[in-house]
Amino acid sequence: MQGSPAYLSGLLLQDRDVLVVGGGAVAQRRIPRLLHVGARVRVVAPQITDILREHAIRGHLRWEEREFRDQDLDGAWYVIAATDSPATNALVASGSEVRRTFCVRADAADLGSAWTPATADVDDLTVAVVGRRDPRRSRTVREAVVKALASTPSDDEFPPGTVVLVGGGPGDPGLMTSAGLAAIRGADVIIHDRLGPVELLAEAREGAEILNVGKVPHGPFTPQEEINRLLIDRARQHLRVVRLKGGDNYVFGRGGEEWLECAEAGVPVRVIPGVTSAVAVPALAGIPVTHRTLSQGFCVVGGHVPPGHERSDVNWQALATSGLTLVILMGVKNLTEIADELMKGGLSPQTPAAVIVEGTTDRQSSLRSTLASVGREASAAGVRPPAIIVVGAVAALELDHTAPNGYPSATAHAETVPDPMRTTTMGPLTAGTGRRV
């Protein structure tokens, strides 16, 4: 009845017939949810969108390619009138009323007998918000509720006695995943590294134990064996334990070692991946690690062990002939030796190289150079970890993310798209912007 409030009820439509009259954009928005809950969807319309046609081809729904007939309503548990004809929608609604079948009128909500709520699923909960006149407000409320629920993990997701390995991303707190943030908020214990979004430790609940096990370059550090012991000990105390790392757990984060140690001790482990600095940091410095005309792939390697060292298992000379973009983590100290080894392997001394320091933070800075000069110039500029090194043609690109109208401008230091063998010029290290001046 027009003007009356809605009575909310959850409809169980699995294996029940639902009729959708109309095959345009509105039907396309409504049908996925019906398919998700297992309804048998029948669409009656002379034409349907390409996406709905694909659903029909795959057998997800049945399409009857014609105009609506009153008898189409027979046997339907739920009806949606979504044509661009108010007259047709009115016929669908009136026929549904006679059959005592609830009907949504997409063109005039108050003239139907049901409304479509703004919905979302969060774990085992379904959020539904109904608003009579302002669907945007309903969506806003839905998103607020979903955000609140997502930041509060359930015991099913994060039971006591569990260790969750959380990839914290490259440094900017905004690049933390929502699942990772929820784990931080639900943790009893957080064991974190020096790098990553340590600002998010403020999101920990009151009373949570926070342990810093970060390693300072050439300074104090917590042995990995002690970190493993802490994880297992706190979990055995029936606590929810988060192991917070920078970047991704499994990209030079020792996440694999910690998972195996916990599993061997009988401690349940869950992994929440993070945004890896190997891709994100170059991106925010204007460097795509792949480019259709410049590089068909990339390789991420650790540079903390110098070439030729007995502990090094990186074949630098093979990488020199791979044609791939090289992304080197933890390589500042050994940058000159690495560059020399790549040149010995045949990589041109004029190959573009870039060093991005403290990427994704407000302290980000970058240096652009060539393979022959990058070690010397990084040392002269006082480059210190954490830094990402990029070697390859793409390192001469500088995509401007602040260009007007949202269209990035691409510049290379030689003013053209770089050739891998071309000499590039370099400006001084530029703080805070990741840009050359």
Active site residues: 193, 215
Burial class (CB in 10 A: 0-12, 13-18, 19+), 135: middle
Non-local (6+) Cβ contacts of 32 within 8 A are none
